[in-house]
Amino acid sequence: MHDDPDQQELELTSALVPLFVISMGRALPADHEYEHTTLVTAQPGASSAARTLPPEAREVMDLVTDGFLSVAEVSGHTHLPLGIVRILLAQMEEDGLILVRKPIPHAERPDRELLSAVLDGLHTRFGA
């Protein structure tokens, strides 16, 4: 019967089980904060160790082997939630399989008055 409350609850929570399995029940360690724009790439020579990884981690390694990708891009390509991708990346970083480059901090806004003066000087020098 479809009206059984136990069966409905199982159907609602069954989609969450694979995510728990993918992360192997781990949580993101406090010292591994990955922003959306954090860039990751594979360590040189890490492809041989990638063969022993779970399928989702292998897919991440395949994506980042040829260059840098942001955490958001990895999540988009793998169709995994950001939280799960962050947990996978933390484990891979601890295992020495990937390099992580933190995003460049936002610069201070330039002085609008200075930019206007430079623009006026360029117009005066080279014409409009």
pLDDT along the chain (128 residues), means of 10: 48 49 61 83 81 83 90 91 87 90 76 90 86
| Token duo for residue 44 | 């040189």
**Per-residue model confidence (pLDDT) at position 15:** 52
59/84 Cα distance (integer angstroms): 13
| Token duo for residue 115 | 């930019």
- Whole-prediction pTM value? 0.61
| Token duo for residue 96 | 């020495």
